[in-house]
Amino acid sequence: MRASFIHCADTHLGYEQYGVRERFNDFTLTFWEITSEAIERKVNFVVIAGDLFNKRAIDAMTLIHAIEGLKKLKDAGIPVIAIEGNHDRSYYRDGTSWLQFLCYQGYLVLLHPRMEDGMPLLEPWDQQSMLGGYIDLLDGRLRVYGIHWLGSSTGRALEGLSQALDTSRAGEDASGIEYRLLTMHTGIDGMVARIQGLPSMAQFQTLRGQVDYLALGHIHKPYEFEGWIYNPGSTETCSAEEAQWEDRGYYYVEIDTEEPERINVEQSECVHHATRLRSHRRPFVRHEIRVDGLNEPDAIYARLESYCREVSGEYAQAEKPPVVQVSLSGTLAFDAGSLDIPRMEEMVREYFHPLHARIDNHTNDQDYEPDEGDLDGRDRSVWHELERQIFEELLARDNRFLPAKEQWGGVLADIKAQALRKEDPAEIAQFLRDKRTSLLVGDGISKA
C-alpha cells in the first residue's frame, strides 16, 4: 500500500490577536494554504489533531472561513479526519460543538470514542451518532484512531487504549490492516516548561509497536521522536513565545508498506517518511531590552533605536508587515512614570512599519525593590512562598478547592504573573479554563 496524508494541528481559526483584524485573516490564510497544499500533493486524507478553532463560541465569519477550506478538500475527494481539542469543545456536556456541526454537514469525520471507566472504547465511527474511535480508509487497509482532549484523564486513557489495541491487533492483522495512525490532542510532559500535567514519554511508550504514527496536537512547539511520534506545532504565531520555534507548520507523510526500504529513515521497520513543512506565517519580531545600568529614559530610547536601526532592514522586503513585540525587563534606576511607552511604540512603527507594535514593560521600580534580608519585604523566594501560602489558605475555605489547594495556589500565582506581564486576557482566561477542567472536571467534580 502506498498513500500520503497531511497532519496539522492548532490552526486556531478565529483568533483576532491583539484585537487586530488582519491577524484574524492571517490564521485563516495559513489554514487555506494547508488545504491547497493537500490538494496539490493529491494526498489521500488530512488529519487535524485538535484546536481547529481558537474558541468554542465562534462568529459567522470564522465558520465561513473553515467551511471554505474544508469544502475545497471535500470537492477534491480528500477526507478530513479530526478530533476536538480543548479550544473546540462545546460549553456543556450535552451541547454540540462546531466540529460536530461540520461533521454533520459532511465536511469532516470527527472521531470521538465513547468512554467507559475512563477508558476509550475502540468502536468504528458511526455516521448516525457521529461517535466512534476509529475509521478505516483505503479499502480497509489503513486505520485512523482518534482520542479527543481528555485533560488530566489522558494518562488513564492511554493505559486503556494500549490494552484495547493489544487485544484487537490480531483481528486487525487478519482483516488486512497494514497501517495504523492514532491522533490525540495532548502533549508530552516537559516539552514546554509552563505546560505541566501532561502524560510522560514512558506512558506513550506503551503504544510503541501498536500504532505506526502518533499524530499529536495541543503543544505549539514542534517536536518528533523515534520515527513514530510527531507534533507539528501551531500553524500561526499564537503568542510571542512561539516566534522562537521557526520550523512550526504541518507534516506531509508518505506511506509505503510494499517497499519500506526505499524510504530514508533511521528505523528500518518504519514504513513512512514524514516531512515537516514550515507554514507561511506573518513575521513576528520579539526582542528583550534589559534596563539594568541604564540611568535615564533617554538611554533606553537610544538602545531601542539602535536595535530598530540594526534589525528593521531585514523586514523591509517582507511580504507582510511584521508584528513587533519589545519586552523591557530588569530594574529601573529612575521613576517608572518617566518612561514614555507611546514614544517607544512610535519609534518601532517608524523603523519597522509593522502591522502592530507592542511594548511590554516588565521592569521593577527600584524604590519598591525589597532589600535583602528585610523582614517586611523578605527575599523574593520567601516572598513568593508566602504569597502562595496565602492563596492556599483562602482556597481552603471553599470545599470545592480544598482537595487540590496546593495546585490551585500555583494556578493563582501563575495567573497573577501573566497579568503583571500584560499577557492577552483571552489567553489568561483560556489558561484558567484549562486548569479548571483538569483540576475540577478531571477529578469528577462538577463545574457548577
User: Same structural domain for residues 109 and 195?
Assistant: yes
In a domain, 395, yes or no: yes
Range of the domain at 147: 2-278
In a domain, 375, yes or no: no
In a domain, 373, yes or no: no
State residue 205's pLDDT score.
93
Given 347, 368, 389, the domain boundary residue is 368
DSSP 351-393: HH--SEEEEEE--EEGGGPPPTT-TTT--HHHHHHHHHHHHHH
- CA angle, 313 as apex, 309 and 319 as ends, to 5°? 145
Q: What percent of the chain has pLDDT over 70?
A: 87
- Distance, in Å, from the CA atom of 14 to the CA atom of 232, rounded to the nearest integer, reads 20
User: Same structural domain for residues 336 and 391?
Assistant: no
DSSP lists the bridge partners of residue 184 as 147, 216
Total tally of structural domains belonging to the chain: 3
In a domain, 263, yes or no: yes
Q: Which residues contact 273 (CB under 8 A, 6 or more apart)?
A: 253, 254, 256, 263, 264, 265
At 134-188, the pLDDT tens digits run: 999 999 999 999 999 998 889 888 988 888 888 777 666 667 899 999 999 999 9
Q: Could you tell me if 357 and 319 are in contact, meaning their C-beta atoms sit under 8 angstroms apart?
A: no
User: Same structural domain for residues 50 and 176?
Assistant: yes
State residue 268's pLDDT score.
46
User: Same structural domain for residues 216 and 288?
Assistant: no
The CA-atom distances, in angstroms, between 318 and each of 237, 238, 315 are: 16, 20, 5
State residue 209's pLDDT score.
86
- Distance, in Å, from the CA atom of 445 to the CA atom of 337, rounded to the nearest integer, reads 46
The DSSP 8-state label assigned to residue 119 in this structure reads: E
In a domain, 236, yes or no: yes
State residue 54's pLDDT score.
94
User: Same structural domain for residues 90 and 16?
Assistant: yes
State residue 260's pLDDT score.
62
User: Same structural domain for residues 397 and 357?
Assistant: no
Question: Can you read off the three cell numbers belonging to residue 330?
Answer: 530588569
Q: How many CB atoms lie within 10 A of CB 341?
A: 12
In a domain, 118, yes or no: yes
State residue 237's pLDDT score.
96
Q: In 3D, which of 34, 11, 79 has the Cα closest to residue 217? A: 11
Amino acid at 160: G
Given 278, 308, 326, the domain boundary residue is 278
Given 237, 261, 278, the domain boundary residue is 278
DSSP 325-355: EEEEESEESS-GGG--HHHHHHHHHHHH--S
In a domain, 34, yes or no: yes
Q: In what order do the strands lie in the sheet with 213-216?
A: 134-137, 142-147, 179-184, 213-216, 229-231, 223-225
State residue 307's pLDDT score.
96
Q: Which residues contact 440 (CB under 8 A, 6 or more apart)?
A: 400, 446, 447
245: domain CATH number is: 3.60.21.10
Low-confidence spans in the chain with pLDDT less than 50: 261-268, 368-382, 441-448
In a domain, 374, yes or no: no
Q: Could you tell me if 221 and 191 are in contact, meaning their C-beta atoms sit under 8 angstroms apart?
A: yes
Pairing mode, strands 331-332 and 284-290: unpaired
State residue 368's pLDDT score.
46
User: Same structural domain for residues 22 and 71?
Assistant: yes
Q: In 3D, which of 90, 82, 12 has the Cα closest to residue 54? A: 12
User: Same structural domain for residues 201 and 86?
Assistant: yes
User: Same structural domain for residues 209 and 256?
Assistant: yes
**SS3 state at 406:** helix
User: Same structural domain for residues 40 and 168?
Assistant: yes
User: Same structural domain for residues 185 and 212?
Assistant: yes
The CA-atom distances, in angstroms, between 303 and each of 59, 287, 331, 366, 367 are: 42, 12, 16, 20, 23
User: Same structural domain for residues 219 and 122?
Assistant: yes
Q: How many CB atoms lie within 10 A of CB 181?
A: 24
